[in-house]
Structure 1
Amino acid sequence: MKDVRSHAPPKKGRPSKAYSQAERLARILRALASRAMTVKDMSQEFGITRRQVYRDLDQIHEQGHPLEQSEGEGQKTWQLPLGYKGIPPITVSPYELMAIYCAKSHLDYLRGTPFTDDLDRLIAKVEAGLSYKVLNHLARIHQVFLPRVGPLRDYAGKKTVINQLQKALLLQRTIVLIHARPDHDESVEHRVDPYRLVLHQSGLYVVGYSHRAKALRMFAVERMASAKVLEECFRLPDEVDLDAMYGKVFGLIDEPAQRIRVQFTSNVAYLVKERRWHPSQTVDILEDGSVVVNFLTGGMDEVASWVLSWAEDAKVLEPQALIEVVKARLARARKNYC
Structure 2
Amino acid sequence: MAATDHSPSSYDPNPPTRVRLHKALSRGRQITQQEASDELGVSKRHVRDVVKTLREEGVPVQEAFEDRRRVYYLEPGDWHSEAITLDIPERQLLTLLVATQAARPTLSPTPLAEDLDAASASLEEALGGRVVSFIPAFESERWHFNRATSVDIDPEVFWALKRAIADRHPVYIDYYSASRGAWSQDRKIDPLMFAVRRGAWLCVAYCHERDATIDFNQVGIEQVDVAEEEHFTPPSGYNRDEYFEGRFGALAGGDAHDVVLRIDDELAPYFERKLYHPTQEVSAVEEGIEVTFQVQGLDEIASFVLSWGPGVEVRSPDSLRHRVAVEARAVAKQYS
Q: TM-score, normalised by structure 1?
A: 0.68
Q: Which residue of 1 aligns with 2:246?
A: 248
Against the structure 1 CA distance between its residues 23 and 297, is the aligned structure 2 distance closer, same or farther, given a 3 Å change threshold? closer
The residue aligned with 2:258 is: 259
Which deviations, in whole Å up to 9, do the C-alpha atoms of 1:205-237 show, x marking residues without a partner?
111112333332321111111223332222223
Match of 2:164, as an amino acid?
Answer: A
Higher mean C-alpha displacement, 279-288 vs 310-319: 279-288
Q: Tell me the residue number matched to 2:274.
A: 275
Q: Does 1:330 align with 2:319?
A: no
Match of residue 228 from structure 1: 225
Listed one character per residue, the Cα deviations across residues 111-165 of structure 1 (whole Å, up to 9, x for unaligned) are 3633223323433443353242549822321011122367x1231x512211222
Amino acid at match of 2:176: A
Matched, 1:95 2:91: yes
Q: Partners of 1:108 and 1:238 in 2: how far apart?
A: 34
> Which amino acid in structure 1 is aligned with residue 301 of structure 2?
V
Aligned AA for 1:269? Answer: A
Matches of 2:140 and 2:125, distance apart in 1: 16
Q: CA deviation at 1:188?
A: 1.8
* Equivalent residue letter for 1:96: Q
Query: Once structures 1 and 2 are overlaid, which stretch shifts more, 94-103 or 169-178?
Result: 94-103
Matched, 1:147 2:149: no
User: Deviations along 1:53-99, whole A, 9 cap, x unmatched?
Assistant: xxx9x94x98688xxxxxxxxxxxxxxxxxxxx78533555533443
Q: Is the 8 A contact 1:92 1:126 kept in 2?
A: no
In structure 2, give the amino acid aligned to 1:171.
D
Matched AA of 1:166: K
What SS is found at the alignment partner of 2:210?
coil
SS at 1:216's partner residue? strand
List runs of 5+ in structure 1 lacking aligned partners: 1-19, 27-48, 50-55, 66-85
Q: Are the structure 2 counterparts of residues 87 and 230 from structure 1 closer, same or farther at C-alpha, using a change threshold of 3 Å? A: farther
Hey, what does 1:308 align to over in structure 2?
Answer: 306
Q: How does 1:195-214 map to 2 (within 5 A)?
A: 195-214=192-211
Counterpart amino acid of residue 234 in structure 1: F
Aligned counterparts of 2:181 and 2:311: Cα–Cα separation in 1: 37
Structure 1 counterpart SS, 2:277: coil
Cα distance, 1:297 vs structure 2: 1.0
Q: Give the distance between the partners of 1:114 and 1:324, measured in 2 at CA.
A: 43
SS in 2 for 1:143: coil
SS of equivalent to 1:130: helix
2:256 alignment partner AA: A
Give the Cα–Cα distance (whole angstroms) in 2 for the partners of residues 153 and 311 of structure 1.
25
CA distance, structure 2, for counterparts of residue 106 and residue 164 of structure 1: 22
Question: Following the alignment from structure 1 to structure 2, what is the Cα–Cα distance between the partners of residues 112 and 301?
Answer: 25
Which segment drifts farther, 87-96 or 290-299? 87-96
Cα RMSD for the two superposed structures: 3.2
**Residue of structure 1 aligned with 2:165, choices 164, 169, 174:** 169
Q: Which runs of 5+ in 2 are unaligned?
A: 1-23, 31-65, 67-72
Tell me if the contact between 2:174 and 2:221 (Cα under 8 Å) persists in the aligned partners. Answer: yes
Report deviation, 1:319: 0.9
1:34 aligns to what?
A: none
- Of 167, 178, 184, 2:174 maps to 178
2-side partners of 1:91 and 1:176: how far apart? Answer: 44
Letter in 2 for 1:271: Y
Q: Which residue of 1 aligns with 2:296?
A: 298
**Matched position secondary structure for 1:325:** helix
Paired residue secondary structure (1:233):
coil
- SS of the residue aligned with 1:107? helix
C-alpha change, 1:22 and 1:114, in structure 2 (3 Å) is closer
Cα shift at 1:328: 0.8
Structure-2-length-normalised TM-score = 0.68
Q: Which moved more, 1:161-170 or 1:113-122?
A: 113-122
**Correspondences of 1:48-67 after superposition (within 5 Å):** 59=76
What residue in structure 1 maps to residue 14 of structure 2?
A: none
Pick from 189, 193, 197: which aligns with 2:190?
193
Letter in 2 for 1:293: V
Contact 2:109–2:150 under 8 Å retained in 1: no
SS, match of residue 166 in structure 2: helix
Matched length:
266
Assess if the C-alpha contact under 8 Å between 1:104 and 1:119 holds in 2.
no
Equivalent pair of 1:102/1:145 in contact (CA under 8 Å): no
